[in-house]
Amino acid sequence: MGTKEDLRRIINRIDGRGYKAYKDIKGDYDFGPYRLVIDHVQGDPFAAPSRVRVRLPMERTGFPHDLWDKRVRRIAFCDYLARQFHRAIRRWSKGHRGMGKSGLIDIDVGGQEILERNAVLIDGTDLEVRFVVGLPAAGRTILGREALGIFFEEIPQVVNGSLFYRSIDQAGVRRHVDVAEDQEVMRDLLEEKGLVSFVAEGSVLPRRSGVDDRPLEAGAIPLRPPFELEVEMELPHRGRIKGMGIPKGVTLIAGGGFHGKSTLLTAIERGVYNHIPGDGREYVVTNRAAVKIRAEDGRRIEKVNISPFINNLPFGKDTVRFSTDNASGSTSQAANIMEALEVGAQVLMIDEDTSATNFMVRDERMQELVVKEKEPITPFVDKVRKLYADLGVSTILVMGGSGDYFEVADTVIMMDSYQPLCVTQQAKEIATKHASRRKDEGGDAFGEVTSRRPLSASFDPSRGKREVKIDAKGLRTILYGTTSIDLSYLEQLVDMSQTRAIGLMIHYYSEKYLHRSRSLREGMELVMRDVEQWGLDCLLPYKVGNLAMPRIFEVAGAINRMRSLKVE
């Protein structure tokens, strides 16, 4: 390990030289209170910025041990420090110092969700913070004086202002960690209370806009739970909390347009993640294995058993091992359901606005005109109860256009001016009063969920001279070798760092577990086990700080959307 003066001498020596000379600063330097590790030096000022780490003993930081003594608290604590480090960068960094990315200091931080990341880690007895630095240059000439300013002025100020207990909001870090732990406890309590989701009284569900996930401020209406669905929970930090419990089974969310149906469903689907204090949804929690389902015209499907929903296609096309390069709305929605069930989904969430109409319902008039023998699709309305009875999989469904679901729903919630009302009894009375004459086309059972095992030929990560080239292009696209994976309709994917991790996890699966596992689910569970045990660092041979933990459903969903996927 060198000293900080060694780094100063190197930078002074290479000042004014060509950019490649920056390679000389790679190494480990003692800055007294912390170590500065420069892992990777960028090749030019326009390339991806250099990867840098700060390490210091936890005992030196002064943070109480109970802030990270459990996994959920450690994740939240590290999340909080990353956000503090980012705020300190904005305060102390002078920003642009030359051409390209010169002068940039940045760290990977989250939005409204608290995700496990590798930007900040507790490694044994040390705290490690990973960030990037754009090494300054004019053209391709090193600006040594500007680099000295970054390493000897800005970074020390950022570290001192964010990584020591004495220098941060002590009540704020504790609240951040406590709120995350409360959410985890609530999620554990769902099963005990027979629920799939819980929405706390006073929650603020509307967001500022479709591209701003922060809570709506002006005009936001805090949620009031209907007394019929009122549930109380006892939490370790918040204490007793009251809210709306959504029971297992089939739940229908009805109501007029613009009254908050989809807003409620979106909050529920995001409830699989913990949220930061002040989000408005920090006490909205959902079963961890809840999956949002929608139609996805044009997606590729590879040997999925969609026979519970679709049979007797023209020309004898197989639906037990159904494949297509260009799925319709109904076949894509059927495949999305079956793929989610294949990897262990326990709750399905569906919005009629993003569903195929002919997949959701077939009324009595259409049944009379197009007899069942001529209709390959069994509508979801005839399978949703069997899905729960046979597999124990619950459904939360937004439906404003068809009362046929009244007969199959266990719970009916009506949204009225963004407030939920329990109208189950009223809906059942209407169903009795206006009895439907449509025929149940769902058969005696839901049908079989078939496991599949991908072939190794599906996974070629090479591109050009690179044996492995995997990259995320925004939140919704992975470039895996020469294959582009479109994740646009995986609506519970919330962070680009998750997208990066998914690409790497696919490669990790193909290299380590594809040949050792009997099914996609088994292989995915082994991958998730490794990452949970060893951390996201197990996915790469070198250290980065821009990965966040995805769920098994989004990783499997990405594999299923690979146009190169081949199944045994």
What residue segments make up the domains of the chain, in order of their start? 2-168, 456-560
Q: Is the pLDDT of residue 500 over 80?
A: yes
pLDDT value for 62: 97
Looking at the chain, the whole-number percentage of residues with pLDDT higher than 70 is 100
Q: How confident is the model at residue 563 (pLDDT cuts 50, 70, 90)?
A: very high
Asked whether 296 and 322 are in contact (CB, 8 A), the reply is no
Average pLDDT of 28-41? 97
End-to-end C-alpha distance for the chain, whole angstroms: 52
Name the DSSP letter for residue 20.
Answer: G
Dihedral of the alpha carbons of 28, 29, 30, 35, in degrees to the nearest 10: -60
DSSP conformation letters of 345-396 = --EEEEEGGGS-HHHH---HHHHHHS-GGG--BPPGGGTHHHHHHHH--EEE
Q: How far is CA 236 from CA 156, 178, 283, 287, 486, in A?
A: 37, 8, 13, 19, 41
Contact criterion met (CB below 8 Å) for 38 and 50? yes
Q: What is the pTM of this model?
A: 0.96
Reduce the DSSP state of residue 9 to 3 states and report it: helix
Q: What is the mean pLDDT of the chain?
A: 96
State the pLDDT at residue 336.
98
pLDDT 10s digits, 126-181: 999 999 999 999 999 999 999 999 999 999 999 999 999 999 999 999 999 999 99
DSSP 111: S
- Inter-residue contact 190 to 198 (CB < 8 Å): yes
What is the rounded radius of gyration, in angstroms, for the C-alpha atoms of the chain? 26
pLDDT at 375: 86
Phi, then psi, of 487 in degrees rounded to 5: -105, 20
